[in-house]
Amino acid sequence: MIIGREGAGATRTRWLLTGLLLTGSCWSAAGPSAADGPTANGLALEVTVNTRPGLGALEPGIRTGAAVVKSYRLTNRGGADLHDVRVHDPAMPGAAIRCPGGLDRVPMLAGLRVAYCTATAPARPGAWVGDVRAVGQQPYLRAMVQATARSGYAGVGAALGLTETARVTGPDRAEVRYVVANHGNRPVHGVRVSDPALPAERIGCGGSPQPVVAHLAPGARATCVASVRRAPGTYESRGQADGSDLIRTLDVRGGAVAPPRLTARSSARFTLRAPPPPAAHVPRPPRPVPAPPRRPPVGLPPERPPAAPPLPGPPLIALFPLPPPPPGIAATVPGPVGPAPPPGAGLPPGAVPPGAVPPGAVPPGAAAVPPGGLPPGAVAVPPGVARQQAQPPKKNTSRPPRRTQRPAEPRRSLAGRFMRRDRTPTGLGMLSALFLILLPAAIAAAVFGSRRL
């Protein structure tokens, strides 16, 4: 009996062990497999920024312009394969996301497998935070699997800018202005302005004689001024601004980076011109001092100033030319009388033509005439008038001109009765001239004759 009971207990133990083995095998078979369908957490996504997970790169941040490296870890938790898995990150605008093989996606992510994708871009100023989304396809089951993760970074740092202008303020002076600006999103401390091209000049900033701006907030500006004194010539200013924002940032491996020294440079050119030479002083000539009047010696009459010379003008006889003399007297006027041959033409030299009076002889019955004078009763005739009278009248061989009506002569004035338009005296003018000449002579003869008596 005892042996039978021991055999029954061993049999029960064997059946219990067999049941446990079957239960374990069934439990293992219930796990995921390649033939399993999609699950709620079939795709997992993890994002790091410069090795900092999630939002760990917001503090202290990445310096603006430095490299931002994002890593995307894709895990297929299910047994079914995922095809065409893509990653979308709005916090990395314009950045290319590269997956294994250099593609922009994972062509197939097998069950229970992991894949990595990365994206690199320069840090932009400000906070860039967003939800990254990964999407995969299961074409056999006509299902889509996706996962999301939040990540981001902050681009921080100050950025110095420098501009300068120069203007001439005098013959040997100029003023250079340096404008320092902070284009970043963090303040700058201890900004020092210098000019290697003008080392001897003092630069003052913000009304202070020191070339230092202690604190420059984001978006603020500060002006520094330097007064330059140089000899005439062309000069170039090369300004430089140095400062620091005192911020430690992250590198691509997540380590701390010391704050760099911020520098900005600028230049300006100006020309100092030499002053024009002073105008030569020309002394004015001394004014003539009038001589004092001379006093005559004692006992002598004072000197009289010389009489002014008479005004030039034609003599009275030229204003009243005399009328032409009779034909007998006009022959005695010397000079050519016309184209007629002179008397005595063809006679031997020294011979006197018949009827002529030898030179120097006085014709009978005539009084002696002094040289250059006129015989009694003769009147001087201008040579031109005598020549016109001596010329024979020309024969008019042309046809007689047509009779034209003469225009009415204008009424003569009082002066026109004594003088014609061609300045020749009329008959009344000639008589008036003779009267004016003979009347004083008669009066003088009467006066002198009365004295002799």
Question: Between 435 and 127, where is the model more confident?
Answer: 127
Q: How confident is the model at residue 31 (pLDDT cuts 50, 70, 90)?
A: very low
For residue 66, give every residue at least 6 positions away whose Cβ sits within 8 Å of its Cβ, in sequence order, or none: 122, 123, 249, 251, 257
Question: How does pLDDT run across 127-170, given as a tens digit for each residue?
Answer: 999 999 999 998 888 889 999 999 999 999 999 999 999 999 98
pLDDT at 175: 95
Q: Pick the range with the lowest mean pLDDT from 104-118, 164-178, 303-317, 322-336.
A: 322-336
DSSP per-residue letters across 403-436: P-PPPPPPPP-TGGGTB-TTS-B-HHHHHHHHHH
Question: How does pLDDT run across 184-221, given as a tens digit for each residue?
Answer: 999 999 999 999 998 878 999 988 899 999 999 999 99
Q: How confident is the model at residue 349 (pLDDT cuts 50, 70, 90)?
A: low
Work out the average pLDDT over 223-245.
94
pLDDT of 383 over the 80 cut:
no
Q: Which is nearest to 216 in space by CA: 197, 224, 403? A: 224
**Do residues 135 and 86 lie in contact, with contact meaning Cβ atoms separated by under 8 Å?**
yes
Work out the average pLDDT over 406-421.
65
Question: Between 4 and 428, where is the model more confident?
Answer: 428
Question: Between 351 and 199, where is the model more confident?
Answer: 199
Average pLDDT of the chain to the nearest whole number: 77
Cα 89 to Cα 121: distance, rounded to the nearest angstrom: 12
pTM score: 0.53
Give percent of the chain with pLDDT exceeding 70. 64
Question: How does pLDDT run across 277-328, given as a tens digit for each residue?
Answer: 777 777 777 777 777 766 666 655 555 655 555 555 454 444 445 555 555 4
Question: Between 30 and 51, where is the model more confident?
Answer: 51
Strands (E), 77-211: 82-88, 97-98, 106-109, 114-122, 126-138, 143-156, 160-168, 173-182, 188-194, 203-205
pLDDT at 98: 96
Question: How does pLDDT run across 354-375, given as a tens digit for each residue?
Answer: 555 555 554 554 444 444 444 5
Question: Between 220 and 36, where is the model more confident?
Answer: 220
pLDDT at 429: 78
Q: Pick the range with the lowest mean pLDDT from 103-112, 242-251, 348-357, 413-422.
A: 348-357
Domains and CATH numbers, the chain: 43-156 (2.60.40.10), 160-272 (2.60.40.740)
Q: Residue 224: helix, strand or coil by DSSP?
A: strand
